[in-house]
Structure 1
Amino acid sequence: MKWYLKALKKYAVFRGRARRKEYWMYILINFLVFMGLGGLDALIFGENSPLVTEDAPPTILFYIMLLYYLGTILPTLAVTVRRLHDSGRSGWWFLISFIPLIGAIVMLVFTVMESDSENRFGSNPKQAA
């Protein structure tokens, strides 16, 4: 949880570097919160949930999920850019994720790679911790 909060505190910080642990813990907790809200919505409202049926009216949990998603777009983008910086890549490499399938695979590889010891974006945050 500390890594998630650390990424949220750097809400719109696109400079610097993010360790693998910071990035993946943020992604994991973000995913769990989103899935938890979606599962709760589907459990409470069943077939009347807009997540299940497209004709269903939006529920309060649907709006909470929407607000959560909109509120985490910028921190997600920022932590991804900092993660790319950690492997010595420009944040513009994020745009490759818009290429179907191949972009997702390339981004996965970039985000699981080992950190550079020292690069133009600063020193290794793993050694500073």
Structure 2
Amino acid sequence: MLDIIIRPWLHAFTFQGRATRTEYWLFALQLVIVIACEFILLLGAAGSSGLAGIGIVGAIILIASFVFAFIANLTATVRRLHDQDKTGWFYLVQFIPMVGGLIFFVLTLWPGTPGENSYGYDPREGDYSGSMARVFS
């Protein structure tokens, strides 16, 4: 279980590979919690003056964390689509007016292809590349 929580953070800037539904949704939840906690801390530090009181350093920290969260979420979503043997360009389906968000949501909930696909090994079965190296070493 700990691997599912830590793996997306280690691959925050990697588009290669696959991500299970559990890994994807736990990571999305973690990002929301981290951003919310950061926002609450910055507002607490600003005091009663609200967003105007966070200052330039607080604003830079907030913007940098939003950029990091966007990139990390983008890469996790692409890996989630790879799990279904779909290209990362399916990410753009969410921009179709009226129905795109629903289609995108269903895609993230859809189960991945069992076994290895064109984007790598099945993360539910584990990485067997190391075991094959041990056989031939």
Q: Shorter chain as normaliser: what TM range?
A: 0.7 to 0.9
Residue 105 of structure 2, aligned match among 103, 108, 112:
108
CA contact (8 A) 1:41 1:49 kept: no
CA contact (8 A) 2:46 2:54 kept: no
Distance 2:62 2:30 in 1: 14
Matches within 5 A, 1:63-74: 63-74=60-71
Give the stretch that moved more between structures: 109-118 or 119-128. Answer: 119-128
Question: What is the one-letter code of the residue matched to 1:115?
Answer: G
- 3-state SS of paired residue (1:121): coil
Partner of 1:7: 8
Distance 1:122 1:96 in 2: 23
Q: Which runs of structure 1 show a deviation greater than 6 angstroms over 4 or more consecutive aligned residues?
A: none
State the shift of 1:100 in Å.
Answer: 4.4
Partner of 1:53: none
- 3-state SS of paired residue (2:9): helix
Distance 2:95 2:42 in 1: 29
Question: What is the one-letter code of the residue matched to 1:105?
Answer: L
Residue 128 of structure 1, aligned match among 126, 129, 133:
126
Q: Highest Rg: 1 or 2?
A: 2
State the shift of 1:23 in Å.
Answer: 0.8
State the shift of 1:58 in Å.
Answer: 4.5
Distance 1:57 1:40 in 2: 12
Structure 2 gap ranges (5+):
128-137
* TM-score of the superposed pair, with normalisation by structure 2: 0.75
Q: Residues 46 and 97 of structure 1: is their aligned pair in 2 closer, same or farther, counting only changes over 3 Å?
A: farther
Distance 1:21 1:112 in 2: 9
Partner of 2:21: 20
Distance 1:32 1:104 in 2: 22
Matches within 5 A, 1:21-36: 21-36=22-37
Partner of 1:82: 79
Structure 1 gap ranges (5+):
51-55
